[in-house]
Chains A and B, each alone.
Chain A
Amino acid sequence: SQELEQSPQSLIVQEGKNLTINCTSSKTLYGLYWYKQKYGEGLIFLMMLQKGGEEKSHEKITAKLDEKKQQSSLHITASQPSHAGIYLCGADRSINTNAGKSTFGDGTTLTVKP
């Protein structure tokens, strides 16, 4: 069963609008990752969050991890067509896992209309 729930499943926004994607777990997240995937291609690593309350930004994308380390949000400001794709969150299953196995959400498909 999926350990990470992403919402919404899909999102259509007008270019220039802000948007937020959420990733929720019932368990404490030891490492939370955001990836972007273009259709039919591999995943591109965006950001990693580890500490409760942590926030990171890259260009117009900001990701936050809540204090309890069970929920993360990805916020895009002034969206552009280049932001379109599938956004996936991934999380480490255990801090003690030698191989650092991750589990993934189902992804959120973002469409940005020009």
Chain B
Amino acid sequence: DVKVTQSSRYLVKRTGEKVFLECVQDMDHENMFWYRQDPGLGLRLIYFSYDVKMKEKGDIPEGYSVSREKKERFSLILESASTNQTSMYLCASSPGQVNGYTFGSGTRLTVV
């Protein structure tokens, strides 16, 4: 069964902490994405990557960075967590153009 695995379902972090969200896919997909989902705002794209060591900003990259050192792993980094980054974070992967995404189960991050 193909999968996108996010390392944590729930996280609670303090303001100012550096936070790492990990995502691993086992489908050999080229493309990986990080979204955040908030009530009333839907899914918003933070960053995406279409190849190892390649990354592009999405719609709301401020306060975030990413790392893709290996094809199967895409990490989202909150450099200094703030309360407005409390959200549901969803990782997804896809094999290429005009294909649906496979999503992970999500990480619900609370910054206090």
Question: A-contacting residues of B (Cβ < 8 Å)?
Answer: 4, 6, 31, 33, 35, 40-43, 45, 48-50, 56, 58, 88, 90, 92, 94, 96-106, 108
Provide the bound-state CA to CA distance between A97 and B104, in Å: 23
Shortest distance between the CB of B57 and any CB in chain A (Å): 11
| A13 → B minimal CB distance (Å) | 22
Asked whether, in the complex, the Cβ of A102 is within 8 Å of the Cβ of B101, the reply is yes
A residues whose Cβ falls under 8 Å from a Cβ of B: 2, 30-31, 33, 35, 40-45, 48, 50, 88, 90, 92, 95, 97-107
Flag if B42 contacts A107 (CB, 8 Å).
Answer: yes
Return the chain A residue nearest B10 by Cβ.
Answer: A40
Selected contact of B102 from candidates A45, A100, A104, A106, CB within 8 Å: A45
B42 and A45 within 8 A (CB): no
- Do residues A42 and B97 form an inter-chain contact, with CB atoms below 8 A? no
On chain A, the residues within 8 Å of B45 by CB distance are: 101, 103
Q: Complex: how many Å from CA A50 to CA B97?
A: 12
Note all chain A residues with C-beta closer than 8 A to B106. 40-42
Given A41-B106, A95-B98: A88 touches B43 (CB 8 Å cut-off): yes
C-alpha spacing A42/B58, complex, angstroms: 19
